[in-house]
Chains A and B, each alone.
Chain A
Amino acid sequence: MNGLFFPSALDPVPGHTAALTLAAVLLIAAIGKLRDAALFREVLANYDLLPAALLSPASVALPLLEALAGALLLWPDSRPVGAPLALGLLALVTAGIVINLLRGRHRIDCGCGGNDVHTPLSWSLVARNALLAVLGAAASMPVADRPTVWLDTLAAAAATLFLLGLYACANQMLSNHPRLIELRDAP
């Protein structure tokens, strides 16, 4: 039974699903940030963690690292490098969110949605990133050597699409939530 809960290697389907989902999440986020680096610079400035001189380089370096982690996660051979990089980036940005939440600056934009969606900081964002980290941990595990058939490919592809859709839903709801609270507390 122990092997089921703490397996030494993951079945190919959940393994590939986790890695591909995280790769897509990172790549999509990186493209969004790189397309409007000036905006992302101001988002970083709001976090109030970096000295002004580092803001511009960091606003390009962070999405580039994100894209690199995403790309490395795409192929099974480079996953042992990509997964720790992705986990490190997740830990870094989540630490930034936690620090600002503890400072009470929860109204600033997280910079994680698209450019037109305003998502303020919240502990739900931290929870979302923790779930992404679970995907990262799964992606860093070795994949079990089992002969796969086309049905496994279908399952992995469909499950990846499913998780990405779920992630989009979660982001939409994270951006809806403060507006619901505003409405509830309205006189």
Chain B
Amino acid sequence: MNEALILSNAMLWAAVLALLVAVLALSRQIGILYERVAPMGALTMDSGPKPGESAPHFHLPSLDGREVQIGHAGARSQLLFFLSPTCPVCKKLLPILKSVHKAESGWLDIVLASDGEQPEHEAFRRRADLGAFPYLLSAELGMKFRISKLPYAVLIGEDGRIRAKGLINSREQLDSLFAARDLGVASVQEYLDQPQFAKERA
């Protein structure tokens, strides 16, 4: 009798833990589904203007009063960096952005973009010492580029075409945008998907 109870107890524990794993997996899957079916489409990789296409044209005032042109062909490339004052990852990347600004100043203009209340952004700009960058406030800009996750970067070439874009969580990801540009592909993932690498990975 005792042995039967012990066995059934152990089996029940195993069953409970297995069910819990299933519930956890389901709730994760539901989280991914919510993300994918969200109205703005968090499938950011596939929505909005694609790399290779011309960037939408904008003519916007920066917080410091300068006029900034987005998407026009010119002598220099542009890196549009979408951020928000309440996004911790964005703020963590600001020092990296400043060093990129210094290192790549020969060919690249970095433009910060966000939307919301102007006083809040002005305070953030002062506090984070972002005076060197133009800072745009425009909901329309984010909508045209289909930004639903932050921080997000779009690299626009001197010809006004989008060279690369993606969600940025680290310096490596920012560098991969430039690498993608140098290789002439939309993203490093696409580069790795090319035939010569497909064989290696298989």
Contact = CB atoms under 8 A, between A and B. Distances in A.
Interface stretch (B27-35, B63-71, B72-80): B27-35
Given A169-B20, A183-B37, 10 more contacts: A41-B92, A42-B89, A151-B9, A154-B13, A155-B13, A162-B17, A169-B23, A179-B35, A183-B38, A187-B39
Where chain B touches its partner, the secondary structure class is helix
B91 interface: yes
Contacts of B34: 176, 179-180, 183
B131 interface: no
A158 B27 CA distance: 21
Contact of B31 (A39, A43, A109, A172): A172
B183 interface: no
Where chain A touches its partner, the secondary structure class is helix
A186 interface: yes
Contacts of A38: 92
Contacts of B87: 109
B27 A169 contact: yes
A43 to B, nearest CB: 5
Contacts of B143: none
B192 interface: no
Interface residues of A, number: 34
A147 B30 CA distance: 45
B139 interface: no
Interface string B16-30: 110011011001101
A105 to B, nearest CB: 8
A186 B39 CA distance: 7
A172 B37 contact: no
B6 interface: yes
Contacts of A109: 86-88
